[in-house]
A and B are shown apart, each in its own frame.
With several copies, the nearest count.
Chain A
Amino acid sequence: MDFEPRYTEEQERFRVEVREWLKENMPEDIVHPPDSIDLTYEQYQKRRELGRRLGDKGWLWATAPVEYGGGGLTVDQSVIIEEEIDEYGLTIPPYYDTGGRLGGASILVWGSEEQKQHFLPNIMKGRVRTWQLLSEPEAGSDLANVKATAIRDGDDYIVNGQKIYVGSSFGADYMWTLLVTDPDAPRHQNLGWFMIPGDLPGITIQPMEMLISGGEGGAGSGEKNTVYFDNVRVPAFNLVGGENQGWKVATTHLELEHGAGGRAARRNWMVDRLFEYCRTHQRRGQPISKDPEARDRLVDVFVESEIARLFGMRNYWMRHSKTPMTYEGPQNSYFRKMSNLRQATYILDILGPAALTYDPELGAEDGHMEAFQRSAIIGVHPAGTADIQKVIMARRIGIGREVREKAGALA
Chain B
Amino acid sequence: MDLALTPDQEMLKSVVHRFVQQEYPKETLLEIAASGSPTPSEPWSKLAETGWLGIAVPLEYGGEGGTLTDAGVLFEELGRGPVPGPHITSGILGVFTVLAGGTEEQKREWLPLLARGERTLVPAVTEADYGWEQEDVRLAAHRNGAGFRLNGSKVYVFDANSASHLLCAVRSEGGDQVGLVTVPASAPGVEVRPLPGFSWNMAEVKFNDVAVGESDLLGLSFDSGWDALQWAIDRTIPVLGAFQVGGCQAVYEMSVDYSRTRVQFGTPVGRFQRVQDHIINLVNHLDSARWTTYEALWKLDTDRPAQESVHLAKAVGSEAYHQACNYAHEVHAGLGGMTEYGLTLHTTASRTLYHYLGNPRFHRLRLADALGL
Query: B-contacting residues of A (Cβ < 8 Å)?
Result: 1-6, 76, 79, 135, 138, 140-142, 145, 164-165, 208-212, 264, 275, 278-279, 282-284, 289-290, 293, 295-296, 298-300, 302-303, 306-307, 310-311, 313-314, 316-318, 321, 323, 327, 331, 334-335, 341, 345, 348-349, 352-354, 356-359, 361-363, 367, 370, 373-374, 377-378, 380-382, 385-387, 390-391, 393-394, 397-401
Contacts and interface: CB of A to CB of B under 8 A. Distances in A.
A303 to B, nearest CB: 6
Contact of A345 (B274, B322, B338): B322
22 contacts: A3-B294, A5-B1, A211-B337, A211-B339, A275-B371, A298-B373, A302-B312, A302-B371, A310-B291, A352-B130, A352-B156, A352-B359, A354-B130, A356-B202, A356-B355, A381-B337, A387-B275, A387-B330, A391-B274, A393-B276, A393-B283, A397-B276
B334 A397 contact: no
Interface residues of B, number: 79
Given A1-B2, A390-B280, 7 more contacts: A3-B3, A284-B135, A327-B283, A356-B197, A356-B202, A357-B196, A390-B277
Contacts of A390: 273-274, 276-277, 280
Given A140-B264, A367-B197, A394 B280 contact: yes
Contacts of B260: 398-399
B214 interface: no
A326 to B, nearest CB: 10
Interface string B321-363: 0100010011001110111100010010001101100010100
B1 A6 contact: yes
Interface of B: 1-5, 69, 128-131, 135-136, 155-156, 193, 195-199, 202, 204, 256, 259-260, 263-265, 268-277, 279-280, 283-284, 287-288, 291-292, 294-295, 297-299, 312, 315-316, 322, 326, 329-330, 333-335, 337-340, 344, 347, 351-352, 354-355, 359, 361, 364-365, 367-368, 371, 373
A356 B156 CA distance: 10
A289 B271 contact: no
Contacts of B256: 397-399
Contacts of A398: 256, 260
Nearest to A2: B2
Contacts of B135: 284
A370 B264 contact: no
Contacts of A210: 337-339
A13 to B, nearest CB: 19
B355 A2 contact: no
A299 B131 CA distance: 21
A2 B1 CA distance: 5
Contacts of A401: 271
B125 to A, nearest CB: 13
Given A354-B130, A387-B272, A321 B315 contact: no
Contacts of B69: 1
A356 B344 CA distance: 14
Given A327-B283, A359-B204, A386-B330, A303 B312 contact: yes
A393 B291 contact: no
A234 B204 CA distance: 55
A353 B373 contact: no
A358 B197 CA distance: 6
- The 10 A-B residue pairs with the shortest CB-CB distance in the complex, in nearest-first order: A399-B270, A142-B264, A310-B291, A357-B197, A394-B276, A357-B195, A356-B199, A353-B156, A352-B130, A381-B333
B367 A299 contact: yes
B364 A141 contact: no
A319 B263 CA distance: 35
Contacts of A303: 312, 315-316, 364, 367
A140 B196 CA distance: 31
Contacts of B283: 327, 331, 393, 397
A317 B263 CA distance: 37
Given A303-B312, A310-B291, A382-B334, A284 B4 contact: no
Contacts of A378: 329, 337
Given A210-B337, A359-B196, A145 B129 contact: no
B290 to A, nearest CB: 9
A192 to B, nearest CB: 21
A34 to B, nearest CB: 9
A216 to B, nearest CB: 14
A299 B371 contact: yes
B4 A1 contact: yes
